Structure 1
Amino acid sequence: MSLSGTAAYDDPTTTGALPPLVQRAVTAARAHGFPYSCRPEQGRLLHALASATGGPIAETGTGYGVGLAWLTSGAPPGTHLISVERDPHRAAIAAELFTDHPNVTVLPGDWHHITDHAPYDLLVLDGGGTGKTPTDPPADPTHLLTPHGTVVIDDFTPSPTWPPTHNGTPDHPRLHWLTHPALHTTEIHLAPDLATVLGRRTGVSQRRRSPS
């Protein structure tokens, strides 16, 4: 969720040509006065990650479907995508946007609904499961990701220091993901004011058997 994500699509010099499905989702977000859409920089990253994904994809926080449209536009044909939106009105409108894409499912409700269909090759945590608020504990990548699956957590402010800080204090949610023992994680700066954390599951370790 980007605070000015929808407005970022107003400048054609920064957005460039958009996939038609993304343009439709942006139009829906504008029509309903929704400002928190996935930014173009993040969308292009999601598009690229989805194109290299061979298995199911999940997203929390559909909004009006902008991020999901980037994912769907990039994913190989037949890839199953699931997105969860807690606002039933937004979920219904987003679901209508994807009626021509039977491989895409928009679920109304809490983000925990994605656990019913896990594991995923690509998981985008945008509307829940990030751990950014005290009432939102972070999702468990060992349950939600396939071995070597990728998790994406966006909308961080770039920090030049270690540990990373936000508003002058240690950024504990970001540290949680950057130091997660089940992930190889890095931070990517997509714009001067926008960073995204990418984590790849390290795989399921196997205990070696002693020689008989």
Structure 2
Amino acid sequence: MKTVAVIGLKGGSSKSTAALHLAVSAEAAGLSVAVIDSDPQGSAHKWFERREAETPSIIREIDGDAFPRLQGLARKNGTDLLLIDTAGKAETTALAACEIADLVLVPIRPTQFDLETLGTVKRTVRVAERLNQTWVMLAQVPTGSNARRMVEEGEAAIHAYGLQLAPVRIATRAAFAYAMSAGLTATEFEPSGKAANEVAGVYQWVSGLLHLSKQPTGELVDA
């Protein structure tokens, strides 16, 4: 089993969007997936309540001390991929998620206020001894004429902080908003759209890093 912690110390950076799209993409690839929603706002859980499908398995738990136990349950039940969706401005929870993660994904908008949080992110993953497993991914990238400049400035900032830049990114697209409000992902809402294509690239990259392959299925069941 592999565990991915999706962290970021500022709200609204597409953490839940990234976690849920990875989860559904992994399921489409034949993997058994579970998501821990540790955000007090419960965005991932609310998305699941709007969803007609019964998967991916989602459990709410805001106490980072419970993550190792839930990870053990997931492994025991044959889960292939566990994703932890964390809250912004929750350093303790982010640290707990990082400590048990095989990969730490940090979606971030290419804005000054968001990029300035990377110093704290770096300290968090360093304490968790996951600096080499951490990747920062640009998210909500504008699609207009200023997009290239924002991307370049965002990439430069990530490198300046000494963090690894993900070779994939996701843009600001209406399909993400429409899909999430309907309990879907962009790949389900508009399979041939640009958002779905970006998600496919993100999953392919993550899958390659973690060497994901189809395994016996199972679910995360909280005992």
Larger RCO, structure (CA 8 Å, separation 6 or more): 2
The structure that has the greater radius of gyration is 1
TM-score after normalising by structure 2: 0.39
More strand by share: 1
TM-score after normalising by structure 1: 0.41
More helix by share: 2
